[in-house]
Amino acid sequence: MDWSPRVEALVRELSRLPGVGRRSAQRLAHHLLRCPEDQARLLAKVIEEARDRIRPCARCGNYAEEELCPLCVDPRRDHGILLVVEKPSDIAAFETTGKYRGVYHVLGGLLSPLDGVGPDRLNIATLRERLAPGTIREIVLATPASTEGDSTAMYLQRMVPADTRVTRLARGLPAGGELEYSDSLTVLQAFEGRIPA
Amino acid sequence: MRVRRLHLTDFRSWREVQLEAHSGANLLLGPNGSGKSNLLEALHVCALGFSPRSRSERDLVRWGADRFVTRLQASRGETPLELAASCDLAGRKETRVDGTPGRLFSRLVGHLSVVGLYPEDLQYVRGGPELRRSYLDALSCQLDPNLVEPLREYARVVKQRNACLKEGDQRDGQMLEVLDQQMIEKAIPLLEARMDLVERLVEPVARLHGSLSGETESVDLFYRGSYGSEDLPRRGQALRDRLEARGRALRNAESSAQSTLFGPHRDELTILLAGRPARETASQGQTRTLAIALRLASAELLALHPERPPVLLLDDVFAELDGPRRERLAKLLPRGGQSFLCSPHRADLPFEVDRTFLLEAGAIRETR
Ligand SMILES: Nc1ncnc2c1ncn2[C@@H]1O[C@H](COP(=O)(O)OP(=O)(O)OP(=O)(O)O)[C@@H](O)[C@H]1O
Ligand SMILES: [Mg+2]
Ligand SMILES: [Zn+2]
């Protein structure tokens, strides 16, 4: 059926979202057009504001509204231990365990020559700065258990100064398993059982 | 171990068909093109996760249909086993192992041992080295399913490494060094498994070839690595050292070739017949008996596992042999296990079968 072009545009944009097929996009579009007007406008507004205000933290690459993210400026966190993850959503997996008290570094991807992703495309230069000798006691390489996750960890390991302990997550996580979809007990066990890299 | 029932939907020429198998010898009888080999292929896909004839699972979808499903019920001693695989034209795959869903076809391997003898097996002797590598790897995975994942990972790392070599101008060469290390890490268990397997195959292949052909010429198998002329160390640190040295020696050649020039994906299994490479010198008949010997040797190794006497798939193998060789092959086939044979004529068969299925007009009829 032919919708008016604006409805069609709404459906099209929604169906670009991850996990949203054309059918669910139509359902969401109908909902947005029929729900109370304030609600739809509020959604548009928060999306716009989030996109305007949120940028990568200048230190760790996490979502931030200021120069630095809340985790990086929190004096109660242990700034001597650094956990390296692929993407911001992985941070949530560790935060929900409530047990990790160090800080993070978000790479923004994994090294993969096949996809044209080299070190320059990732947030690696700032990591190098953060690892200046004498600043970090331990770095935990929490990249996923895949061939690309392994290459990335091995690459990073080579730039860690000698006085910093390097560990990797225990292989409690399923191979290729996504951190963000793992339950917090599994994540916690992988962290507690971390092994020297 | 035995197959009880096979059910196909839109697989190759079959729209919908079910076969209730006997625990002994099952004969599929039907004219050329009636779908006999297609049935064996479906069994092979369920048990091993790949087709012996096609690289792409999409080819298995019946023309005009959009998805095939093949389901196999078997038993391992008293325990029932169910394996199922499907794939649609878009290449979306699903598998089930005892009801547990997954996507990769490779997870099917290791539950039901199967050895197929196909007319195309001549290529294992005559064709390119990639075929002999895949013969070794497919058998290794059946003997030890823990090798499935390392094989996939190794192939992935080689792709990454080739991409890295193509980019050229490595700013600091660190990424390539990482991939070198990773590739060698993944190569070691594969090489150990292949070399062990070749060692175990030498005696049975030579013996079976002798019994089958009635010839006394010597047969030898020998694993030739892409690592220089000396013998490859069998395992551990010595093997690792050799791979690393090879990587250093080939550095420049690899940069100009922009691809990975050493490793399990470049190795060769050489079959020697009377001291000469069979690939180049074996006659038509010798090629055939060698190919059969490779398969029967696989069956022997699999049969060492007490729970896993392999199910044999015999695709018209007798037709290609002369009278004496036919008789000898019949004697060499493992006894007491289950087999599926196909043939256009009953006359080709040198032994009794337990159940006969007539294939005609897209249906199967069981006869006595
Ligand atoms: N994807 C497909 N969809 C439909 N038909 C197919 C498909 N692939 C192959 N076929 C058909 O299946 C038939 C071949 O079946 P099969 O190889 O099983 O024959 P066969 O009984 O083994 O014959 P032969 O005795 O000659 O070996 C061919 O006629 C071919 O056209
Ligand atoms: Mg056939
Ligand atoms: Zn931060």
Query: For residue range A15-31, what is the model confidence (pLDDT) as tens digits?
Result: 999 888 889 999 999 99
pLDDT band, residue B114 (cuts 50/70/90):
very high
Using the predicted structure, report yes or no on whether residue B35 has a pLDDT greater than 60.
Answer: yes
Helix or strand run (H / E) with residue A106: strand A102-106
Using the predicted structure, report yes or no on whether residue A145 has a pLDDT greater than 90.
Answer: no
Tell me the mean pLDDT in the region B160-180: 86
Tell me the mean pLDDT in the region A128-156: 93
pLDDT band, residue A197 (cuts 50/70/90):
confident
pLDDT band, residue B225 (cuts 50/70/90):
confident
- Inter-chain contact B178–A147, Cβ cutoff 8 Å? no
pTM score, whole prediction? 0.87
- Inter-chain contact A155–B174, Cβ cutoff 8 Å? yes
Query: Hey, is the C-beta of A117 within 8 angstroms of any chain B C-beta?
Result: no
Q: Which ligand 1 atom lies nearest to the CA of residue B316?
A: 27
Q: Which ligand 1 atom lies nearest to the CA of residue B38?
A: 18
Interface of A with B in 147-186 (CB under 8 A): 147-148, 150-151, 154-155, 158, 175
Average pLDDT taken over every residue of chain B: 92
Answer whether B36 contacts ligand 1 (Cβ < 6 A). yes
A196 to chain B, minimum CA–CA distance in Å? 17
pLDDT at A177: 57
pLDDT at B275: 95
pLDDT at B351: 81
Quick count: other Cβ atoms within 10 Å of Cβ B328? Answer: 17
Give the count of alpha carbons within 13 A of A162, CB side only: 0
DSSP B109: T
Using the predicted structure, report yes or no on whether residue B184 has a pLDDT greater than 80.
Answer: yes
Secondary structure class of B143 (helix, strand, coil) = helix
pLDDT at B323: 87
pLDDT at B231: 81
Q: Which ligand 1 atom lies nearest to the CA of residue B59?
A: 1
Is the Cβ–Cβ distance between B105 and B57 less than 8 Å?
yes
- Inter-chain contact B182–A150, Cβ cutoff 8 Å? yes
- Inter-chain contact A113–B163, Cβ cutoff 8 Å? yes
Q: CA distances (Å), A192 to each of A88, A99, A105, A184, A185, in order?
A: 21, 9, 19, 12, 10
Contacts with B159 from chain A: Cβ below 8 Å: 114
Tokens of A29: 């579009």
Contacts with B149 from chain A: Cβ below 8 Å: 175
Contacts with A114 from chain B: Cβ below 8 Å: 159-160, 163
B209 CB contacts (<8 Å, ≥6 apart)? B215, B219, B289, B290, B293
Architecture of the domain made up of A77-168 = 3-Layer(aba) Sandwich (3.40)
Q: Which of B13, B27, B360 to mutate to test the pocket of ligand 1 (most atoms within 8 A of CB)?
A: B13
pLDDT band, residue B42 (cuts 50/70/90):
very high
Q: Which of A112-121, A181-190, B96-105, B183-192 has the lowest mean pLDDT?
A: A181-190
Picking from A111, A147, A150, the nearest residue to B175 by CB comes out as A111
Which residue spans within chain B are E strands per DSSP? 2-11, 14-20, 25-29, 67-76, 79-88, 93-97, 100-102, 114-117, 219-224, 268-273, 276-277, 311-315, 339-343, 355-360, 363-367
Residue B6 amino acid letter: L
Residue B7 amino acid letter: H
Look up the ipTM and state it. Answer: 0.81
Query: Hey, is the C-beta of A21 within 8 angstroms of any chain B C-beta?
Result: no
Tokens of B17: 């068909």
- B31 CA from centroid of ligand 2 (Å): 9
Answer whether B12 contacts ligand 1 (Cβ < 6 A). yes
Using the predicted structure, report yes or no on whether residue A173 has a pLDDT greater than 70.
Answer: no
Tell me the mean pLDDT in the region B268-282: 95
Residues in chain B: 368
Q: For B1-113+309-368, which CATH superfamily applies?
A: P-loop containing nucleotide triphosphate hydrolases (3.40.50.300)
Helix or strand run (H / E) with residue A85: strand A78-85
Contacts with B182 from chain A: Cβ below 8 Å: 147, 150-151, 154
pLDDT at B14: 97
Break chain A into its structural domains and give their ranges. 77-168
SS (H, E, C) B261-306: CCCHHHCEEEEEECCEEHHHHCCHHHHHHHHHHHHHHHHHHHHCCC
pLDDT at A180: 65
Picking from B161, B163, B175, the nearest residue to A119 by CB comes out as B175
- Inter-chain contact A151–B179, Cβ cutoff 8 Å? yes
Residue A140 amino acid letter: V
The number of helix segments (H) and strand segments (E) in chain B equals 9, 15
Contacts with B179 from chain A: Cβ below 8 Å: 113, 151
- Inter-chain contact B160–A118, Cβ cutoff 8 Å? no
Is the Cβ–Cβ distance between B160 and A112 less than 8 Å?
yes
Residues bordering ligand 2, an ion, CB closer than 5 Å? B 37
Size of interface A-B (CB pairs under 8 A): 43
3-state helix, strand, coil in chain B (%, to 5): 45, 25, 30
| CB burial string A144-169: b at 16+ within 10 A, e below | bbbbbbbbbbbbbeeebeeebebbbb
- Of A98, A88, A82, the residue nearest A141 (C-alpha): A82
Q: CA distances (Å), A137 to each of A95, A131, A133, A164, B40, in order?
A: 20, 9, 9, 5, 60
Residue A149 amino acid letter: G
Quick count: other Cβ atoms within 10 Å of Cβ B53? Answer: 15
Q: How far apart are CA B307 and CA B143, in angstroms?
A: 12
Q: How far apart are CA A89 and CA A111, in angstroms?
A: 18
A63-64 and A55-56: which strand pairing?
A: antiparallel
- Inter-chain contact A151–B178, Cβ cutoff 8 Å? yes
pLDDT at B147: 94
